């Protein structure tokens, strides 16, 4: 077996092993008004279901009238056969504490679409992490407004959709994108340097499901040509920011950021190269955390466990 077929077979093995190892594991995400007894009630419920807590993280914005956040990983015998029972049984606990909550069953891999334009470094990073088994998602399609990524994507046996967009065709193209997202049952979208602004209507259909990489350390140098503006300003640090997309351009809840040093000897080309390295690692981390259900959105901020 050669080429794309070998890659597909290797990836399927990663997915099969992951699903087998995770079939009796789940993640419980909670946010609610902070008050006594939350941890005890949640732990008691899981204990009564025969569950074993593998990891537990919690945080409160303020112990007096604040918001409490919690993420628990647990396993239970034959959990994959008791999904409805676990959710139904937890409802009274959630209602008692006025919780927003979800139980996510770990073996159900999320289905991720990747949007990309001409610059491919972030796409390459996501696909490499996926091939190596370090990014556990199903990637059923890649959408682009340019042809540059086609050869790379199709070499991995992933369907590639070329949907060029102009100001006049934007609405029609977005309608087709949404149709594809529905057809492929997509759970999350990674914008791997997709250089088009999504409409409010599109974003509203995918709330907290679109992860963008912005090529600057937000809120500095928001908008276009951040590296050129950083060079003109003589900055000593450059960075990248991954965030959820909202109607407010580049102002959605921030998931992850990172920086690297530059100096007066670095021209715009060198700064962009350094920036690309930061971008791809920051986006990959943000996407992984979303796939692992480590993020709770609170207003325009995120809690990342």
Q: Which residues are catalytic?
A: 250
Alpha-carbon Rg for the chain, nearest whole angstrom, is 21
Burial level of 130, CB count in 10 A (0-12/13-18/19+)?
A: buried
C-alpha 174/C-alpha 129 separation (Å) is: 28
C-alpha 287/C-alpha 241 separation (Å) is: 12
Is 160 in a helix, a strand, or coil? strand
Residue 188 CB partners (closer than 8 Å, separation 6+): 110, 111, 112, 113, 137, 209, 210, 211, 287, 290, 291
What the block records as the tokens of 267 is 């021209």
């Amino acid at each position: 077996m050669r080429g794309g077929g070998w890659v597909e077979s290797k990836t399927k093995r990663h997915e099969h092993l992951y699903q087998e190892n995770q079939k009796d594991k789940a993640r419980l995400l909670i946010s609610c008004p902070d008050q006594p007894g939350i941890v005890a009630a949640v732990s008691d419920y899981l204990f009564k279901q025969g569950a074993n807590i593998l990891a537990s993280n919690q945080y409160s914005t303020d112990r007096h009238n604040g918001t409490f956040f919690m993420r628990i990983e647990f396993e239970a015998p034959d959990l994959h056969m008791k999904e409805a029972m676990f959710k139904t049984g937890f409802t009274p606990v959630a209602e008692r504490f006025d919780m927003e909550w979800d139980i996510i069953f770990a073996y159900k891999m999320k289905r991720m679409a990747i949007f990309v334009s001409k610059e491919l470094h972030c796409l390459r990073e996501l696909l490499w992490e996926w091939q190596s088994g370090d990014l556990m998602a199903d990637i059923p399609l890649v959408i682009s407004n340019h042809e540059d990524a086609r050869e790379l994507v199709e070499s991995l046996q992933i369907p590639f959709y070329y949907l060029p967009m102009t100001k006049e065709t934007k609405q029609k193209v977005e309608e087709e994108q949404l149709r594809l997202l529905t057809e492929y049952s997509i759970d999350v979208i990674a914008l791997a340097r997709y250089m088009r602004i999504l409409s409010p209507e599109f974003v509203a259909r995918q709330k907290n499901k679109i992860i963008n990489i912005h090529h600057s350390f937000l809120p500095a140098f928001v908008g276009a040509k951040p590296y050129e503006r950083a060079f003109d300003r003589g900055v000593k640090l450059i960075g990248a920011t991954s965030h959820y997309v909202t109607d407010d351009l580049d102002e959605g809840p921030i998931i992850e950021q990172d920086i690297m040093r530059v100096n007066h000897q670095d021209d715009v080309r060198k700064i962009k190269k350094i920036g690309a390295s930061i971008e791809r690692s920051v986006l990959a981390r943000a996407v992984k955390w979303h796939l692992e259900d480590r993020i709770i959105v609170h207003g325009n901020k995120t809690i990342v466990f």
